[in-house]
Structure 1
Amino acid sequence: MSNQTGQMGFEFNCMAVVFCTTNFTTECENVTLKACPVCNMRYAAIFITLVLILGFMIVVGNVIIIISTRSLKRQSKVDVIRTSLAGADILSGLNIFTVVAYHFAKTLNWTAAELVQYQASVVNTAPAVIGAVVFVFTVTSSLYHLLLLSCERLYAIQWPISYKLQSRSSLHRVLIGVWIISAVTASIPGWFPKRFVFNYFPSLFVYYPYINIVGAGKNIDSVIALLGVFLILPFVLTMVILATTMCIGHLQFKKSKRLANHARASNMKKELSMIVHLGSMKLGFSATVIPIVALSIAYFSLKKSCAEIVVPTAACFYLSMGNSLVNVVVYSLFDKDFRKCVKNDLRLRCRLC
């Protein structure tokens, strides 16, 4: 059994498992992976335990954000967006408990021959397409929510009167638009069946889309450009808007202090604090996502075997899923109101118990 796809020059249909040696396809051809001597079940147990802990922390942390935010007597517009973002982040945890956990259990009970056969049988099928789109959606929904938060902060600082007059219904319409754009962006690979391939990756235990070099042919530049517009551009825009908002806020804060406008200065100080929190969220998002992007670039440029980098690939991949936990960490560390709200909510629930 070969790890190569032959037609493509790269091992897109990567046949490697994080807790097995590179020759498991021959050694475990007629033996289930959990009984195969070249597969380490201790490593498998450690791997799935860490992944499930990550999923648990993502779900519980974001549920706490939703409950605590919704329990506020008066929700701000930022709180409304935070609640929506937490809902988007929960999807990553649910993906771990459903797709990842299910395929991990199935993979353990498959022989290498059955695993290869399964991977070949699900290429571009409905489960593969849906699974891949849902995974991408967990990333795009967080990305576009962060972009919305950045725009919302700039709007609040640059046009404070207009911002205060913004109705909740208009904000809800914007949020609906964010969810729709996130879903549309995630489904882009499905628009071009000849340029993208949807398949199961046993190295990650998820369905994943990738560019079909042969199928895309001369149009690969247009595919990359389209992905850049919908994925890279929002990322860059968020950074630019955050930097612009910070500069404007700092200048207005200094101006308010100079004019002895203490109320305005106090308000701007709060705004700058919120921008710092948002910047921390964006920094965390970048720190979790950039490693898998960098590793992918290195994989293509160095033409490494997927089996050679299966461990760092799995580590970087699940680190990228950890972007759904970043907001929980940022709120817990920097937001006193959030910590106070959580403590009060827990005390109330303990009394009721």
Structure 2
Amino acid sequence: MRNFSFFYLLLDREPSSANNFHQDDEKEPTKIFANLSDNNHLINTTMCGFPALCSADAHRECFDTPLYACDACGHARTGIFIFVITITAILILICNFLVILSVYLTNKQRRKHIEYLKGSLAVADMMNGIQIMFVTLPNVVWSLRLSSSEIDRIQFALRGSVKATIGGIFFTLIYSSSIYHLLLLSLQRFAAIRWPIWYKTKGMQHMPLMIAIVWATAILAASVPTWFPDSFVFAYSASVFLFVPAFDSLDALFTSGLQVISGFFLLPYLMMSALTVATGLIVRNTMERSRKLSGFHHKKTSFNKETRVLITLTCMEIGFTVTLLPNTIVVLMFYFGQLDCDSFSIPYLISFYLSTLNSLVNVAIYSFRDETFRKNILKVFENLFSCCKKKKKDFQEFGETPAQSPPTPRVSLSTLISISFLFDKSKQ
């Protein structure tokens, strides 16, 4: 029976009365045991998945050898992985900081409610970079110093721990906050198109409160697994080097699991998509009526601006879906038996960290679609360049030798003649 979760999977084996590691089993040397059932019988389990920096034989070949010294783990692959995720984290942090800076630089009189929402979404996206920098990279480093048996012991020891719970909630919050921010953006666009007068006068007066509600709901959704300790558990996944939510059993998936996923993640996503589609239909119908009434020569109005904003939002939602789709497919392939524990880790690792690129998608879309964002960022770089240029000039002037005499001013011949003429005239 498979214990299914979003990002952490176990493969249950036959019951066993033993309560220690079967080191004499050559094929599966890293078996662990956990009390996973209500009647307190022990189920012999094998951790499904391994550090994708190593081959599928790493569990056996690296049983007593640290991964960095084991032939089953490639140093080149490790170096490339660390380099790629480091660059990704740096880009996520810098690019989303520029979004927040752009919101700050926008004139208060011209600053709209959607700007604050963009800044809040950028904070949510920055959390992905923070997680990679301060969770993934340290976990990669200490994993390389451990053997496969030690990693299995640590994975088992961390299941349900305070550290795993905090890390798992933060992990889930990254995705829940993105979904709820996009849902609020979709709701805002729908209200702006459907009830434009109400929207401009009263609709978005309480945007700070709405943003606070979004964050509160996202945190609530991320902490839901802690409400059902008999069904959910936060655990460490060696495949992606992160703390993630998991299900204790397949029964938990089909009972509490589906309810939580549907209520707190799938339903908001469907509502977001439905609102965007409905807004698009209203825009199309309104534009068609406008063309008929004006004889296909209608002027540009504020409605056209709202349409451009809707297109930007649609691109953001498509980017969110596309970046998460590969990881969802990999998990479903494992669940339906297309992937097993030996072939699961590498595609899962790649698809998972591809999903983190969602934190860069919004910035890329702003760069092409948002003129205000482009102007603000160009202004930042222009000021930075001029500041660096001025500092370089001051440094060069400061570096001149103090003892050096100032240059003698040069006087032209015409100036001397004029001075001489004035002097002679004064004598007369």
CA displacement at 1:244 relative to structure 2: 0.6
CA displacement at 1:125 relative to structure 2: 0.2
CA displacement at 1:303 relative to structure 2: 6.3
* Inter-partner Cα distance in structure 1 for 2:385 and 2:305: 32
- Per the normalisation by structure 2, the TM-score is 0.77
Q: Find the partner of 2:59 among 25, 35, 44.
A: 25
Q: Find the partner of 2:233 among 192, 197, 207.
A: 197
Deviation track 1:161-211 (CA, whole Å, cap 9, x = no partner) reads: 111123765110000000000000011111111101211111100011111
Alignment of structure 1 residues 50-89 onto 2, 5 Å: 50-73=84-107, 74-89=110-125
The residue number in structure 1 matching 2:248 is 212
Q: Find the partner of 2:268 among 234, 238, 245.
A: 234
- Residues 187, 278 of structure 1: alpha-carbon distance in 2 compared, 3 angstrom cutoff: same
- Residues 248, 30 of structure 1: alpha-carbon distance in 2 compared, 3 angstrom cutoff: same
* Inter-partner Cα distance in structure 2 for 1:254 and 1:303: 48
Determine if the alignment matches structure 1 residue 107 to structure 2 residue 143: yes
The alignment partner of 1:302 has SS state of: coil
| Matched residue type, 2:373 | F
Contact 1:10 1:303 in 2 (8 A): no
Determine if the alignment matches structure 1 residue 327 to structure 2 residue 362: yes
The residue number in structure 1 matching 2:193 is 157
* 189-198 vs 122-131, greater mean Cα deviation: 189-198
The alignment partner of 1:187 has SS state of: helix
Determine if the alignment matches structure 1 residue 34 to structure 2 residue 68: yes
> Percent identity between the aligned chains?
29
CA displacement at 1:221 relative to structure 2: 2.7
The alignment partner of 2:336 has SS state of: helix
* Inter-partner Cα distance in structure 2 for 1:228 and 1:112: 36
Q: Find the partner of 1:46 among 80, 93, 99.
A: 80
- Per the normalisation by structure 1, the TM-score is 0.93
- Residues 68, 214 of structure 1: alpha-carbon distance in 2 compared, 3 angstrom cutoff: closer
| Matched residue type, 1:281 | M
Mark the runs of 5 or more structure 2 residues left unpaired by the alignment. Answer: 1-28, 38-42, 389-428
C-alpha RMSD over aligned residues: 2.3
Of structures 1 and 2, the larger Rg is shown by 2
Contact 2:291 2:298 in 1 (8 A): no
Aligned length: 351
Q: Find the partner of 2:333 among 298, 303, 311.
A: 298
The residue number in structure 2 matching 1:225 is 259
* 187-196 vs 337-346, greater mean Cα deviation: 337-346
Contact 2:49 2:344 in 1 (8 A): no
* Inter-partner Cα distance in structure 1 for 2:327 and 2:380: 37
* Inter-partner Cα distance in structure 1 for 2:303 and 2:33: 57
The alignment partner of 1:124 has SS state of: coil
Mark the runs of 5 or more structure 1 residues left unpaired by the alignment. Answer: none
- Judging by fraction of residues, say which structure has more helix: 1
Contact 1:11 1:305 in 2 (8 A): no
* Inter-partner Cα distance in structure 2 for 1:17 and 1:70: 41
CA displacement at 1:340 relative to structure 2: 2.1
